């Protein structure tokens, strides 16, 4: 039996019951899940979720952020929830100390210290590796409240429809981008249009990084080889998800910490060219 394109084999691989999602309803108010029907609950109860969040210099918000993320997962009754905060030498404030203090009483939090990281992409990769060891689904979310923990339920609710990946989008109906310089918005928007044209993808946001994957999908994407060590790595990941079952949900993005520099743009064009050549060879 299948439900929404998920075969029984797929379902059992992630521990999902291979049954239609009869009776699955959610009721959301202001982004908070207030009620989950019993069938939805049963599905989630077989899933272990790993959350990956690289963090640097987030001392003011690190603890409330982790707490908010865990609180949003709570109503789903997941089999397990594990939060992996990946830190490295780029973080020069008290983020690590604050998180380690929280981890002493919060068993769902693991602080991964990775001084060997050479870029933020290394931090994401390390987080994926840690999460994939013991999770059916992997959620990636940036700290600092530029991604909203209150929007996590949308990802989980969409995922049970049988997707391999659910991507957050700032540009679809209901999504938004605020407190972000015009240049960066233009790069995100223009980059999305260009990437879709060149790569044949059809996502409304090719550069955001708030997303949920099944373990198998993430493994397949990573296996293709993520080459960018800048923000373009998000686009590489989405390009490699091209043949997977993907969905988008709207997200609210707030207060970017950085603008996108010319080195990052040059990296993006070089990596886009590589992906385009793969597409021409029918290998994308
Ligand atoms: N471990 C680690 N985390 C980082 C590094 N740079 C940024 N981050 C984290 O990665 C996420 C996104 O980075 P950020 O610079 O805030 O992106 P922006 O706000 O979208 O401009 C946030 O959770 C940051 O704390 C880094 O070099 N190492
Ligand atoms: Mg930020």
Beta carbon of 88 within 6 Å of any ligand 1 atom: yes
The pTM of the full predicted model, rounded to 2 decimals, is 0.88
Give dist(CA 192, CA 88) in Å, integer: 30
User: What is the torsional sign of CA 259, 121, 72, 173?
Assistant: positive
Mutate to test the pocket of ligand 1, among 60, 120, 184, 253 (most ligand atoms within 8 A of CB): 120
Question: Chain-centre distance of CA 249, in angstroms?
Answer: 12
Among 8, 114, 105, residue whose Cα is nearest residue 55: 114
Residue 176, Cβ neighbours under 10 Å: how many? 12
Are 78 and 44 a contacting pair, CB within 8 Å?
A: yes
Beta carbon of 123 within 6 Å of any ligand 1 atom: yes
- Taking a 5 Å cut-off on Cβ, the residues next to ion ligand 2 are 144, 146, 257
Q: What is the pLDDT along the chain (284 residues), one digit of tens a residue?
A: 333 334 444 444 444 433 334 333 333 334 334 345 555 667 999 999 999 999 999 999 999 999 999 999 999 999 999 999 999 999 999 999 999 999 999 999 999 999 999 999 999 999 999 999 999 999 999 999 999 999 999 999 999 999 999 999 999 999 999 999 999 999 999 999 999 999 999 999 999 999 999 999 999 999 999 999 999 999 999 999 999 999 999 999 998 888 889 999 999 999 999 999 999 999 99
Are 223 and 113 a contacting pair, CB within 8 Å?
A: no
How far, in Å, is the centroid of ligand 1 from the Cα of 17?
A: 37
How far, in Å, is the centroid of ligand 2 from the Cα of 253?
A: 10
How far, in Å, is the centroid of ligand 2 from the Cα of 73?
A: 22
């Amino acid at each position: 039996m299948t439900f929404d394109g998920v075969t029984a084999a797929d379902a059992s691989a992630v521990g999902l019951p291979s049954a239609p999602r009869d009776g699955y309803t959610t009721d959301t108010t202001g982004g908070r899940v207030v009620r989950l029907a019993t069938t939805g609950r049963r599905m989630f109860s077989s899933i272990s979720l790993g959350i990956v969040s690289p963090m640097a210099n987030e001392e003011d918000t690190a603890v409330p952020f982790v707490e908010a993320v865990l609180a949003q997962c709570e109503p789903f009754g997941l089999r397990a929830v594990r939060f992996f905060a990946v830190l490295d030498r780029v973080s020069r404030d008290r983020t690590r100390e604050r998180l380690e203090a929280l981890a002493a009483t919060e068993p769902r939090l693991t602080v991964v210290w990775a001084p060997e990281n050479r870029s933020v992409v290394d931090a994401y990769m390390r987080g994926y590796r840690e999460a994939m060891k013991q999770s059916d689904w992997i959620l990636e979310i940036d700290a600092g409240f530029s991604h909203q923990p209150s929007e996590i339920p949308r990802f989980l609710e969409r995922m049970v429809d049988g997707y391999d990946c659910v991507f957050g989008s700032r540009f679809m109906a209901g999504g938004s981008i605020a407190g972000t310089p015009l240049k960066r918005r233009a790069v995100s928007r223009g980059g999305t249009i260009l990437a879709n044209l060149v790569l044949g993808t059809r996502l409304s946001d090719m550069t955001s990084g708030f997303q949920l994957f099944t373990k198998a999908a993430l493994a397949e994407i990573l296996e293709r080889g993520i080459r960018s060590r800048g923000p373009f790595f998000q686009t590489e990941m989405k390009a490699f998800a091209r043949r997977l079952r993907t969905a988008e949900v709207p997200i609210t993005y707030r207060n970017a910490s950085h603008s996108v520099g010319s080195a990052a743009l040059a990296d993006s064009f070089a990596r886009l060219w590589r992906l385009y050549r793969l597409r021409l060879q029918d290998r994308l």
